[in-house]
Structure 1
């Protein structure tokens, strides 16, 4: 069962988190070009895949429980970074994208790009922790 959970967790991460990170990174450039069609598409990708992405931590927790590693430091740090990434997406990136789409006020594309970069860096760190698992006794 552990292999199935791990496979589903990795698959969900690739399918759900990948598109959000790419779309969030592309959005500031679309703002600079004032490409409203592309902005709408990228925002929709971010919103929809953010919801689908909720399966990733659920499957991750199930996998961690199955492996018996829920109290390992690398997993706890990954959980904290995942929560931070979700907060950045929900409370910074998505509202800024909505503001760019629906208001007449200009959105700071540079700041949005920086925020998207932080979001992506958080996810990249989680991926590295999932692969390296420093201090793990389950083997590499």
Structure 2
């Protein structure tokens, strides 16, 4: 019996990812944030709250995003007044990132909505801890 589209883990992952991205985009729409803007702002905020003033490369590495794209998105977040970029005194080519008070408040509310969307989306999964283990492996985050 030939295999069909519903037998392809890659296609199923693609379809599930698209559904999840639509849910997250809807949750972020009231905040005027794209998904990548949300991820980079949330990562920067988290690093700031850990006492770090990361440069763009550190944020890109942490978020697992392309460095050039990260730079473009960070500029857009700065234009929106959600974070500031400052020259790194150690490396004049680098920019240190700090989330503004406005950005911190916005990301706090956005994270709540994204977590709500995640809970709704993944409620059909009986073992989210097991799913997270599998996703970490697929993302190269654990052996």
TM above 0.5: no
Higher relative contact order (CA 8 A, sep 6+): 1
TM-score normalised by structure 1 residue count = 0.34
The structure with the largest strand share of the pair is: 2
